[in-house]
Structure 1
Amino acid sequence: MKVGHTLRSARRLRTAGIAAVAATALVLTGCSSDADATEENSTQTTTIRIAPQPIADFAPIWLGMEKGFFTDQGLDIEIVEGGASSSAQIPLLLSGNADFAATTATAAIQAKSQNMDVTLVGGLTNFAASDDTDQSGLVVAKDSRLTGFRDLEGKTVAISGLKSVSEAVISAAVEKSGGSASKVSFIQAPMPNLGDLVATGGADAAFLIDPFLSKATGEGLKVLGHPFPLAAPGVPGTSLAASAPFVKANPDTIAKFRTALAKSVDFANQNPDLVKAALATNAKIPLDMLTNSKNPTFDAVIDPAALTAEIELLLEYGVLTESVDASSLLTPAK
């Protein structure tokens, strides 16, 4: 069934005439109408429509569907396409065309700052806290003379989205390294094309996430550095957003979803090879391209302090123009 709808039960039959018919049926069939209703209701599932991201961050949902973690909670997951980017997924929620969307925390923060009625139900990934675990990085040409973030002054950096958390964090990394972020130019291109821009001289550096990072380094580019561990360790990455009215109307469904999500995230963290297999199957990425790529670390719970740090960073570097109270963006536990 769809969320917000329940089956009619035989318990609702109140008139004497209908009760008599039910009693006759009981004699003829040997089955209780209450038992029928109970059995019927016990097999019902609630359909949850999720707008995905074709990246490794979404793997817990794919794996949770495959392993039956959502089914165990009486949830049927339906994948809804149509959100080409994180910001494009927010309208899917507000229009009622999706119940949840796997979007960046930044997109949800920006939507909230514009008085859109969205909330974060749970997490999927956080950005890495150390270089060793980071699946992202800034790449430059093999013969580039750039040696650190400070050298990006006067240079062009290609990223997958302007006014994004990547832009803010790279700017912060430049300043933490003694440079001026205002002297860095950012251009936008699709993630699969960013490495090519550096290789052909269209950009001095590019910010990539695996598997595109490992692909680029395998083709001769080199990693200049890891901006997230330096400037914003552990801030929320891909998260699950919903409309606030949907969450308010369906508290039991939200609780069940969170239970299944926690199991799915734990399973994904414990089975890195299955994460890559799920990405290859569902995002149509060749498995051999994923051989050297790093998986993200999955986390079903969004830390309010980390979310606040991200909001402050976005404000500082002009990605966000109005502040947001992190607690107002997070769906509280039931």
Structure 2
Amino acid sequence: MRRLITSAIAATLLLGVAACGSTDDTADGDGGSGGPDRVKVGAIPIVDVAPLYLGKEKGFFRDRGIELDVVNTTGGAAAVPGVVSGEFDFAFGNVVSLVLARSQRLPLKAIAVGNSSTGKADADFGGIVVPPGSPIQTAADLAGRTVAVNNLRNVGDTTVRASIRKAGGDATKVRFVELPFPDMPAAVAAKRVDAAWIVEPFFTVARNQGARMIAANFVDTAPNMTVAAYFTTEKTIAEKGDLTRRFAAAIETSLKYATEHPDEARKILLSYTKIEPAVTEQITLPAWPTEINRESVPVMADLMVTDGLLKEKVDVSELLP
């Protein structure tokens, strides 16, 4: 992940954060030709971003003059350099990735909430799982074990360590390995890793294959924790303020609609993930509030200092909308 952030910094220095969007800089309303602005958004294909796809299907973006293109990423660590280099106009990224970027002086800013924990330890949209028959009973038992996360030195290992500490274990004795979420159920079932932090819909897939949850790491970290946000560069906000506002408004409408229509949120998963229809009925949906939980972000930032991801505290107020 440090390599990705370094690449993003290099892009910033070379480009001056130029071309931070696929739309024309002179077109901040209707695309300059009477048609919608074509906007490219980077997003990881997991349940968290269901409102994005649902909003596109329902026309919430089109209604605001936006033609949306969603491009798959592996996580927030990959989304950050994509936004900085101009590959994406906006992106979905977890809070840790954004705080890390801000600590590297990358001019990024959240413009809308992405998703949050449900706040329920027995009904969250992700957690730490172990293979069937594993001797691991609690997060404290992860000391000396191998745990899979989707991005190293990011929201996964940070919150897994929070669970370990809460359970009374040694969070410094865990070995983390990087695996894409879709590969985690098979890795856990085959016992190629001792445990995995995994989110829906793959969380349910893993448990259907016999995996057992031992901790709800988001719940252990902070109450109703904001997990991710949609973000862009300060340059885009300054030069394409109207477009940014329209995008944020469409996201807010999409989040509210997904919350009020969970059956449609489940159904839209079939359009961008490779899961069985029956699984969509079993998964736990994340919370999709319309505002960032501003109290949970500093908690994450402090944990990043504790875990050595940051050398010093970051003023997260600069990151938040």
TM-score strictly above 0.5 = yes
Partner in structure 1 of residue 288 of structure 2: 298
Deviation of 1:41 after TM superposition, in Å, equals 8.7
- Cα separation, partners in 2 of 1:41 and 1:201, compared to 1, 3 Å: closer
TM norm structure 1? 0.82
Q: Which amino acid aligns with 2:273?
A: A
Look up the match of 1:45.
Answer: 36
Deviation of residue 43 (structure 1)?
5.2
Tell me the residue number matched to 1:126.
Answer: 116
Q: Per-residue displacement from partner, 1:148-192 (whole Å, max 9, x unpaired)?
A: 111222222222221111111111211111111112222222222
**With structure 2 as the length reference, what TM-score do the two structures score?**
0.85
Unaligned runs of 5+ in 2: 1-21
The CA deviation string for residues 122-160 of structure 1, in whole angstroms up to 9 with x for no partner, is 111013312133011111222222221112222222222
Alignment of 1:195 with 2:195, yes or no, is no
The equivalent residue for 2:299 is 309
Mapping for residues 160-239 of structure 1, pairs under 5 Å: 160-239=150-229
Report the Cα offset of residue 4 of structure 1.
Answer: 3.4
In structure 1, stretches of 5+ residues that fail to align are 8-39
CA deviation after TM superposition for structure 1 residue 268, in Å: 0.5
Q: Which residue of 2 aligns with 1:270?
A: 260
Q: Where does residue 25 of structure 2 map in the other structure? A: 4
The Cα of 1:44 is off from its aligned counterpart by: 4.1
- Any idea what SS the aligned residue of 1:233 has? coil
How much identity, in percent, do the aligned residues show? 28
Tell me the CA shift for residue 3 of structure 1.
4.9
Query: Could you say which residue in structure 1 is the equivalent of 2:67?
Result: 76
Contact 2:44-2:72 at 8 Å conserved across structures: no
* Corresponding position of 2:127: 137
Distance 1:41 1:88, change over 3 A: closer
CA spacing shift, 1:314–1:128, aligned 2, 3 Å: farther
* Contact in 2 for aligned 1:138/1:224 (Cα 8 Å): yes
Cα deviations by residue, 1:286-308 (Å, 9 ceiling, x for unpaired): 32232311111112322322211
Instruction: Determine the structure 1 residue equivalent to 2:13.
Output: none
| 2:46 alignment partner AA | I
SS in 2 for 1:133: coil
Q: Contact 1:163–1:319 at 8 Å: present in 2 too? A: yes
Bigger radius of gyration? 1
Give the superposed CA RMSD: 2.3
C-alpha deviations, 1:251-297, integer Å up to 9, x for none? 22222222222111110011112112211112343322323111111
Q: How many residues align?
A: 298
